[in-house]
Amino acid sequence: MSPARVLAPAEITARDLSRRRIALALLTALPLALYGAQAGHLRHAVVTGGVVMAFSVAGAAMFASFATRAVDQRLMLAGYRPYELLLGRLLLLEVLGVLVAALFSVVMVLGTGPSDTPALVGGVALVAFTSVPFGLALGALAPQELEGTLILIGVVGIQLTTESSQLVAKFLPFWGPQRLLTHSIDTTVAIGAAVPVDIAYALALLLVAVYAIGRRVPVISAPPVSR
């Protein structure tokens, strides 16, 4: 696998995202506004703000996947492997996720002053880390952007309305970061297996995305031989 085969999908994704600057700004501003609305009177505002940041990163990953579906098929017919397409896109989107996570971390540390700042930063970073493969999997599996957006809203919404100690929360992709964020304001809450579980979830979602992209490529059969 040459670097060029990874950089080509990343460049295509970067070009598409550059045309969606307003949408990306809104995807970042709205979660920050939600955190800001709660920061003055709710202690768990950092949990809400950290988890809802998934809209920013997962939304960008999902929209990028939908926009490049046709290009992906042409690249794979030209010899690219699904994992090569995903690797280039993953690296670019994770860089974007780091930038968004840094912004959210600074705002929430200054706005809330958590008991455990490293736990807050780690929780926000884990949200960004998991959001990229989650968004890529949605973009590969959902038939259209509307369905993908509704699934994203549903998953993040359920995660927000559950406590990290509830059983249902542990089966959702952002339980690990939710646990870290909860620990950042209440150090009596044990982190436990939050980090390894989150990493395993992210890897599983990435494998799902690779498989789904491979399944979308049409099979071209050879024409029948004339006798």
If one counts every other C-beta atom within 10 angstroms of the C-beta of residue 218, the result is 8
pTM over 0.75: yes
Report how far residue 134's alpha carbon sits from residue 61's, in angstroms, rounded to the nearest whole number. Answer: 8
Q: Is 172 left (phi over 0), alpha (psi -120 to 50) or beta?
A: beta
Residue 20 pLDDT? 84
Average pLDDT, rounded, for the chain: 86
pLDDT band of 56, cuts 50, 70, 90: very high
pLDDT band of 83, cuts 50, 70, 90: confident
C-alpha 93, offset from chain centre? 8
Q: Which of 137, 130, 133, 132 is nearest to 212 (CA)?
A: 137
Q: In one letter, which amino acid is 166? A: Q
Whether residue 74 is predicted with pLDDT greater than 70 in this model: the reply is yes
Please list the alpha-helical segments (H only) found in 19-115.
21-39, 45-52, 54-67, 69-77, 82-112
Residue 89 pLDDT? 86
Q: For 58-76, what is the mean pLDDT?
A: 84
Residue 149 pLDDT? 92
Residue 154 pLDDT? 94
Report how far residue 103's alpha carbon sits from residue 159's, in angstroms, rounded to the nearest whole number. Answer: 22
Residue 43 pLDDT? 79
Residue 219 pLDDT? 43
Locate the domains of the chain by residue range.
3-216
The dihedrals phi and psi of 54, each to the nearest 5 degrees, come to -55, -30
- For 158-184, the pLDDT digits (tens) are 999 998 888 888 899 999 999 999 999
Report how far residue 84's alpha carbon sits from residue 28's, in angstroms, rounded to the nearest whole number. Answer: 28
Report how far residue 125's alpha carbon sits from residue 148's, in angstroms, rounded to the nearest whole number. Answer: 23
